Amino acid sequence: MGLSFRKIIKLGKNTRLNVSKSGISASRKAGPITINSRGKVTIRLGKGLTWRL
């Protein structure tokens, strides 16, 4: 596993701007589901446990 970098900037209560080595994306949280501008969906299953689609 290699070294990774990510910086998260909060733009509002449920909106974030994510800056990483691969570029910039925005994400929006709606309950346990998070959708980002690259089309990735993450579902929070419990504390510390997520499922990425």
**What confidence tens digit (pLDDT) does each residue in 41-50 have?**
999 999 889 9
Residue 16 falls inside a structural domain: yes
For residues 46 and 1, give the distance between their C-alpha atoms in angstroms, rounded to a whole number: 25
What is the count of structural domains for the chain? 1
For residues 1 and 47, give the distance between their C-alpha atoms in angstroms, rounded to a whole number: 24
Residue 18 falls inside a structural domain: yes
Inform me whether the pLDDT recorded for 1 exceeds 70: no
CA–CA distance from 32 to each of 21, 42, 44 (Å)? Answer: 26, 8, 5
* Residue 49 or residue 4, greater confidence: 49
Chain segment 7-52, per-residue pLDDT in tens: 999 999 999 999 988 889 999 999 999 999 989 999 999 988 999 9
Query: What is the domain range of residue 46?
Result: 6-52
What does pTM read for this prediction? 0.70
Write out the two tokens for 8. Answer: 């998260």
Residue 1 falls inside a structural domain: no
